[in-house]
Copies of this chain bind each other. A is one copy, B any other.
């Protein structure tokens, strides 16, 4: 079976040290801030990012073990297919959050409404573009 290698480009520092204390989604974060540290060898890739109000963060659920094809979303009373949920227990452990970018200082990005665990590996950042991403 084909597989692809993904390497972290940085990590995010957040107030959440344990998964039981992390919010389930950005909307439950009560405005918590986090700092994304991009590794020095990728810092040039941030040039111009300060012009964007929101950024799409792809990250790796590094503390999730295995996966399930179904999950029960919070508030739902039945199981749903994993691809119809945002659960971390997915075949590829990739998470996505769209965050407000507050500030850029060298290789550090300050973002608002974080929902990741402290130390979560970041695998990509893309600019949020209303004409592509707003539905």
Contacts and interface: CB of A to CB of B under 8 A. Distances in A.
A85 interface: yes
Contacts of A132: 25-27, 86, 97-98
Contacts of A100: 135
A20 interface: no
A121 interface: yes
A118 B6 CA distance: 22
B47 A81 contact: yes
B69 A45 contact: yes
A84 B48 contact: yes
A81 B46 contact: yes
B94 A6 contact: yes
Interface in A4-62: 4-9, 25-27, 38, 42, 44-49, 51-56, 58, 60, 62
A3 interface: yes
30 contacts: A2-B7, A2-B8, A2-B121, A3-B7, A4-B6, A4-B62, A4-B93, A5-B5, A6-B6, A6-B92, A7-B92, A9-B92, A25-B132, A38-B83, A42-B69, A44-B70, A45-B91, A47-B70, A47-B81, A48-B84, A49-B84, A55-B83, A58-B58, A58-B92, A58-B94, A83-B125, A86-B127, A86-B132, A98-B133, A134-B134
